[in-house]
Amino acid sequence: MAVDLDPALMEILACPCPAHAKLHSGTAADPEADALTCAECGRSFPVTDGIPVLLLDEALPETGPGVDGVHGSDGGGLGSG
For residue 46, the one-letter residue type is P
Q: Is 10 in the site for Zn ion (CB under 5 A)?
A: no
Q: Is 36 in the site for Zn ion (CB under 5 A)?
A: no
Per-residue binding string, Zn ion, 40-59, x by CB under 5 A, is: xx------------------
Say if CB 45 and CB 55 are below 8 A apart. Answer: yes
How far is the C-alpha of 10 from the C-alpha of 4, rounded, in Å? 10
DSSP lists the bridge partners of residue 45 as 36
Task: Choose one: 6-14, 38-46, 54-62, 63-71; the region binding Zn ion (CB under 5 A).
Answer: 38-46
Q: What is the DSSP letter of 18?
A: T
Q: Which is nearer to Zn ion, 9 or 55 (CB)?
A: 55
| Residues at the site binding Zn ion, with contacts judged by CB under 5 A | 15, 17, 21, 38, 40-41
